[in-house]
C-alpha cells in the first residue's frame, strides 16, 4: 500500500496529480477558469500558494499549509460561515470532488476524474524551494506546449512579474531569487530534470 504523506501545518508541499488513465482534466478555457475559482474557494483559506501550473491532463502546486492558529474567525470566500478545523487533505479532496462533479455533468461522463490519492511531496529543503518554483513554471516547456514559460497563461509565472493584486505569495517567491531579474534569469536556465524528477518522485506523465 502506498505511504501517503500527511499535510501538516506550516509545511511546504509540492502537490500534483493527473487525470485518471491520462484523461484530460481541462478540455477548454472555461475549465481552467472554473478550477481556479474552486481552488480559491476551497484551498486559499487554508493554504498559501507559491507556484502553480495547470496543463491539459495534470497540474502542479507549490503550497504551504497555514497554521490553524492564524485562522480563528477567518471566513471563507462566500462569507457565510467560518472555517472549521478539519484535516488539510480534506480541503483538497473537496476541491477535486467539486471539480469532477462539474466536469462529469458538463461532458456527460461518469466516475473518477483524478488519480487517487492525489500526489504530494514534503519540501523540507529550502534550497529546493526555488528549484520547485522553476520546475513548475517550466513544466509546459518540458512537455512541449510552449518554448517559454511566459507564454503559458495557466501558471503563476506571469503573476510573479505582474503588479496586479494577487493571492499568490509573489513577494516571497521573488525574494527566493533575490530580485525579478534573477527570477527571470534562473527560469531561462536548463535544469537537471532527471535529478529533480527523482527528488520530487515524479514520473514521465508529469
Domain 12-200 classification at class level: alpha beta
Q: What is the Cα–Cα distance from 125 to 1, expressed in whole angstroms? A: 26
Cβ atoms 132, 51 nearer than 8 A: yes
Dihedral pair phi/psi, residue 17, rounded to 5°: -165, 170
Claim: this prediction has a pTM higher than 0.85 = yes
Q: Print the SS3 string covering the chain.
A: CCCCCCCCCCCEEEEEEEEHHHCCCCCCHHHHHHHHHHHHHHCCCCEEEEEEEECCCEEEEEEEECCHHHCCCCECCCCCCECCCCCHHHHHHHHHHHHHHHHHHHHCCCCCCECCCCEEEECCCHHHHHHHHHHHHCHHHHCCCCCCHHHCCCECHHHHHCCCCCCCCHHHHHHHCCCHHHHHHHHCCCCCHHHHHHHHCCCCCC
The pLDDT-based confidence of 4 (bands split at 50, 70, 90) is confident
Write the burial class of residue 152 (CB in 10 Å: 0-12 exposed, 13-18 middle, 19+ buried). Answer: buried
pLDDT at position 127 is 81
Spatial distance between the Cα atoms of 171 and 107, rounded to a whole number of angstroms: 39
The whole-number pLDDT of residue 191 equals 75
Max Cα–Cα distance, the chain, nearest Å: 48
Per-residue confidence (pLDDT) for residue 194, from 0 to 100: 60
pLDDT, one tens digit per residue, over 165-204 is 999 999 999 999 999 999 999 999 887 766 666 766 666 5
pLDDT of residue 72: 45
Domain ranges in the chain?
12-200
Phi/psi at 25 (5° precision): -90, -30
> What per-residue confidence (pLDDT) applies to 164?
94
Q: What is the pLDDT of residues 9-66, one digit of tens each?
A: 999 999 999 999 999 999 999 999 999 999 999 999 999 999 999 999 999 999 999 9
What is the C-alpha to C-alpha distance for residues 4 and 101, in angstroms, rounded to an integer? Answer: 24
pLDDT in tens, 75-122: 454 454 555 568 999 999 999 999 999 999 999 999 999 999 999 999
Apex 196 CA angle, 93 and 112, nearest 5: 25
Q: What pLDDT is recorded for position 73?
A: 43
> What is the C-alpha separation between 191 and 131, in angstroms, rounded?
9
Q: Return the number of other C-beta atoms located less than 10 Å from residue 135's C-beta.
A: 23
Q: What is the per-residue pLDDT across 155-167, written as a single tens digit (0 to 9) for each? A: 999 999 999 999 9
Amino acid at each position: 500500500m502506498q505511504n501517503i504523506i500527511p499535510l501538516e501545518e506550516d509545511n511546504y508541499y509540492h502537490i500534483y496529480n493527473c487525470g485518471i488513465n491520462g484523461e484530460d482534466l481541462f478540455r477548454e478555457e472555461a475549465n481552467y477558469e472554473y478550477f481556479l475559482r474552486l481552488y480559491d474557494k476551497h484551498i486559499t483559506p487554508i493554504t498559501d500558494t507559491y507556484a502553480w501550473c495547470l496543463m491539459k491532463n495534470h497540474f502542479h502546486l507549490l503550497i504551504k499549509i497555514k497554521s490553524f492558529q492564524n485562522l480563528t474567525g477567518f471566513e471563507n470566500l462566500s462569507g457565510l460561515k467560518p472555517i472549521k478545523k478539519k484535516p488539510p487533505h480534506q480541503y483538497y479532496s473537496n476541491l477535486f470532488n467539486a471539480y469532477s462533479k462539474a466536469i462529469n455533468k458538463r461532458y456527460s461522463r461518469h466516475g473518477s476524474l483524478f488519480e487517487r490519492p492525489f500526489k504530494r511531496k514534503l519540501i523540507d529543503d529550502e534550497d529546493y524551494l526555488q528549484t520547485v518554483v522553476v520546475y513548475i513554471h517550466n513544466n509546459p516547456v518540458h512537455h512541449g506546449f510552449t518554448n517559454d514559460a511566459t507564454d503559458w497563461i495557466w501558471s503563476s509565472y506571469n503573476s510573479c512579474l505582474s503588479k496586479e493584486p494577487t493571492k499568490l505569495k509573489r513577494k516571497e517567491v521573488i525574494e527566493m531569487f533575490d530580485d525579478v531579474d534573477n527570477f527571470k534569469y534562473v527560469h531561462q536556465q536548463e535544469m537537471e530534470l532527471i535529478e529533480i524528477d527523482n527528488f520530487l518522485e515524479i514520473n514521465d506523465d508529469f
